Amino acid sequence: AQSVTQPDIHITVSEGASLELRCNYSYGATPYLFWYVQSPGQGLQLLLKYFSGDTLVQGIKGFEAEFKRSQSSFNLRKPSVHWSDAAEYFCAVGGVQGAQKLVFGQGTRLTINP
Amino acid sequence: NAGVTQTPKFQVLKTGQSMTLQCAQDMNHNSMYWYRQDPGMGLRLIYYSASEGTTDKGEVPNGYNVSRLNKREFSLRLESAAPSQTSVYFCASSSRRDRVSEQYFGPGTRLTVT
């Protein structure tokens, strides 16, 4: 079955440090990949997406992600985090079991130390 | 342009009561979705509607019904609420009906069933 795994439930980094959030997917064909961010008490906001083409994609708020087919991964990165980046981050894969549906990972909660 | 709106924001029900969660979008999107979010489980799809007049079950449809009232509105009904349905419910929409595209989320409804 198609699935998305975010191995880290909770990550803590210091403000100004670099960040990498991991995402691994299981899907037979070329996936459509997304990263969403959820601030406390809010809905989900799209950070970036990969459909095809350049495997390094840029998103909003200074985030980027790299699609690596050989590793079935789509890791999210940011060179220098800000306190406002504290939130929960979700990786999602589409193109599974129906054209429009997305399957979400369990989420990674990011805490920023001042 | 309000995007995706949901009502109510909070609701407390007693076991066995019924209620309808309302969702509307003003982006002229074709597809709409209902998810539930539980700690450590990410978002799970309850029902979706690829286009006006069609609805399909997602991963966790039991105990729920949906109505795609028109292109703008997609409601979720709990006929006989159970404590296991305590969750945060998100509505989302996307533009395409025939392939994956990014989904836009509402702010959520926090439901407690006692």
Residue type, A50: Y
pLDDT of residue B101: 82
Element (H, E) at A25: strand A24-26
- Spatial distance between the Cα atoms of B24 and B69, rounded to a whole number of angstroms: 10
Radius of gyration in angstroms for the set of CA atoms belonging to chain A, rounded to a whole number: 14
Tell whether the model's pLDDT for residue A97 goes beyond 60.
Answer: no
Say if the Cβ atoms of B104 and A46 lie within 8 Å. Answer: yes
pLDDT of residue A101: 83
What value does the mean pLDDT of chain A take?
92
Q: Which of A23, A22, A37 is nearest to A84 (CA)?
A: A37
- Spatial distance between the Cα atoms of B111 and B114, rounded to a whole number of angstroms: 10
pLDDT of residue B60: 95
- Is A9 an interface residue toward B (CB < 8 Å)? yes
Beta carbons of A26 and A45 less than 8 angstroms apart? no
The residue written with tokens 């299981």 in the block is A26
Q: Which of A26-30, A78-82, B88-92 has the lowest mean pLDDT?
A: A26-30
DSSP B45-76: EEEEESSTT--EE-S--TTEEEEE-SSSBEEE
Tell whether the model's pLDDT for residue B27 goes beyond 60.
Answer: yes
Element (H, E) at B21: strand B19-25
Beta carbons of B111 and B88 less than 8 angstroms apart? yes
The residue written with tokens 């439930």 in the block is A9
Say if the Cβ atoms of B102 and A46 lie within 8 Å. Answer: yes
Tell whether the model's pLDDT for residue A27 goes beyond 90.
Answer: no
- Is A95 an interface residue toward B (CB < 8 Å)? yes
- Spatial distance between the Cα atoms of B92 and B34, rounded to a whole number of angstroms: 7
Query: What percentage of chain B exceeds 90 in pLDDT?
Result: 83
